[in-house]
């Protein structure tokens, strides 16, 4: 997360505010949202009919709106939300709305640093993307599957490029959809397109595509792979070589293809959510070696442990630590390097891995209480509400953000405190 080195990493506990505090009388308030550095707690509050505001660390901001939703903090710590005023929608950053308004706004997204903020927009029943308040110069009859490059300089979406009437099967089968990058659609149309993804530099885009009613493949910068498959899942770029990999279905089983050629044989009942480490040497994916039993495969080698559900795969930057969440008999746990943690929970949230790959931590919930768990060990205090743990740049401390007895606390704990 951006700017972590400047955060306060002094070990200890600080009381930030009463979680339900606001400087103005409110009718009701939504669930609060904690900033990445733990210094601020923001909440949407209703002041009267069709009047909403933002309360930050107990202080009501001056600007009010007819509606506020999707309140979030960007990686650089700025507060953003979708807001409505005078029947028009836009994005407010730190309470100040963009100058440009739209018929509707949704799908807030951030660049890796948080410096750029994007959103899907609709204006006069045409659709596209706006970044930092600047919409695409051309909007489309239909758009979805929005994506923002890591640097925030480019945006993409699946768009409808040809008119199609209701139940116009012939037009649909000819192909009406493509991908637009910065408002420029690829030259080729497809029956369907899904999930455009950018390469790490933001220069190239790959997406799943449906070539006909029965043939699927991956399209890279508008050019399909030479080979088609019975189905495909979302592609990913190799961080170094730029090759594109995607799970594909062939002969009734799933494997992994690189640039159209199978590099993991099609031997899985399911295979998806592949993740590279930063070097590209390690590639992990959620896999089902047999029907209904899921695990993690690392470089095409499945783990021994398996569960009815596996999700939220995480890989350390150097590829030496790999974790995922597993569910069995209604209980969730964490699996790191093929070793399940001992705790069982009603819910577990995505894994954080320390920058050096030494430690893994999660937020978990059991019987209405939240826990912060490091390497399988629960922190000594529980919370009524909590947010995901954050590691210090050195990986030796954990930032804990939680509400305890109605008070929002910011705790910096050493890894030895667990």
- Nearest-angstrom CA–CA distance, 375 and 203: 37
**Residue 41, both tokens:** 């707690």
Residue-level pLDDT, tens digit, the chain, 418 residues:
567 889 999 999 999 999 989 999 999 999 999 999 999 999 999 999 999 999 999 999 999 999 999 999 999 999 999 999 999 999 999 999 999 999 999 999 999 999 999 999 999 999 999 999 999 999 999 999 999 999 999 999 999 998 888 888 888 888 899 999 999 999 999 999 999 999 999 999 999 999 999 999 999 999 999 999 999 999 999 999 999 999 999 999 999 999 999 999 999 999 999 999 999 999 999 999 999 999 999 999 999 999 999 999 999 999 999 999 999 999 999 999 999 999 999 999 999 999 999 999 999 999 999 999 999 999 999 999 999 999 999 999 999 999 999 999 999 999 999 9
The pLDDT value recorded for residue 411 is: 98
Overall residue count recorded for the chain in this entry: 418
**Residue 29, both tokens:** 């308030």
Vertex 245: Cα angle to 136 and 312 (nearest 5): 80
Vertex 199: Cα angle to 198 and 203 (nearest 5): 80
Positions of E strands within 111-228:
117-123, 126-131, 134-135, 143-148, 155-160, 177-181, 184-185, 192-198, 205-210, 216-220, 223-224
pTM: 0.93
- Nearest-angstrom CA–CA distance, 314 and 297: 12
Question: 205 with 198: CB under 8 angstroms?
Answer: yes
Exposed, middle or buried, 96 (CB in 10 Å: 0-12/13-18/19+)? exposed
The pLDDT value recorded for residue 165 is: 81
The pLDDT value recorded for residue 1 is: 56
Is residue 355 left, alpha or beta, with left meaning phi > 0 and alpha meaning psi from -120 to 50?
A: alpha
- Nearest-angstrom CA–CA distance, 308 and 291: 10
The helix (run of H) or strand (run of E) holding residue 170 is: helix 169-174
């Amino acid at each position: 997360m951006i700017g972590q080195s400047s955060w306060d990493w002094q070990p200890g506990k600080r009381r930030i505010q009463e979680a339900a505090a606001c400087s103005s009388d409110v009718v009701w308030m939504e669930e609060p949202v904690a900033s990445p550095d733990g210094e601020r707690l923001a909440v949407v509050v209703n002041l009267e009919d069709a009047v909403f505001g933002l309360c930050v660390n107990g202080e009501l901001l001056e600007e009010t709106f007819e509606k506020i939703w999707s309140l979030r903090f960007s990686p650089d710590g700025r507060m953003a939300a979708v807001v409505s005023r005078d029947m028009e929608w836009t994005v407010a950053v730190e309470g100040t709305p963009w100058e440009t308004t739209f018929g509707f706004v949704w799908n807030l997204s951030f660049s890796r640093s948080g410096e750029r903020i994007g959103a899907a927009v609709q204006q006069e029943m045409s659709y596209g993307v706006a970044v930092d308040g600047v919409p695409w110069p051309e909007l489309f009859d239909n758009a979805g599957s929005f994506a923002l490059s890591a640097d925030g300089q480019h945006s993409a979406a699946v768009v409808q490029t040809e008119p199609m009437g209701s139940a116009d099967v012939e037009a649909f089968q000819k192909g009406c959809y493509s991908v637009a990058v910065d408002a420029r659609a690829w030259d080729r149309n497809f029956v369907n397109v899904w999930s455009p993804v950018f390469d790490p530099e933001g220069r190239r885009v790959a997406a799943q595509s449906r070539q006909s009613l029965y043939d699927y493949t991956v399209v890279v910068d508008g050019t399909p792979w030479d080979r088609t498959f019975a189905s495909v899942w979302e592609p990913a770029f190799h961080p170094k070589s730029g090759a594109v990999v995607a799970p594909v279905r062939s002969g009734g089983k799933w494997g992994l293809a690189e640039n159209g050629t199978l590099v993991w044989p099609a031997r899985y009942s399911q295979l998806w959510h592949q993740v590279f480490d930063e070097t590209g040497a390690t590639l992990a994916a959620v896999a089902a070696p047999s029907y209904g039993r899921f695990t993690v495969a690392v470089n095409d080698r499945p783990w021994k442990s398996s569960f009815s559900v596996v999700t939220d795969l995480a890989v350390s930057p150097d590829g030496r630590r790999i974790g995922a969440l597993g569910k069995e008999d209604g209980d969730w746990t964490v699996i790191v390097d093929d070793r399940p943690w001992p705790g069982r929970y009603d819910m577990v949230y995505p894994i954080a891995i320390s920058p050096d790959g030494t430690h893994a931590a999660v937020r978990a919930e059991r019987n209405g209480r939240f826990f912060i768990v490091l390497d399988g060990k629960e922190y000594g205090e529980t919370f009524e509400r909590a947010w995901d743990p954050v590691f210090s740049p050195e990986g030796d401390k954990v930032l804990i953000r939680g509400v305890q007895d109605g008070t929002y606390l910011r705790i910096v704990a050493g890894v030895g405190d667990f």
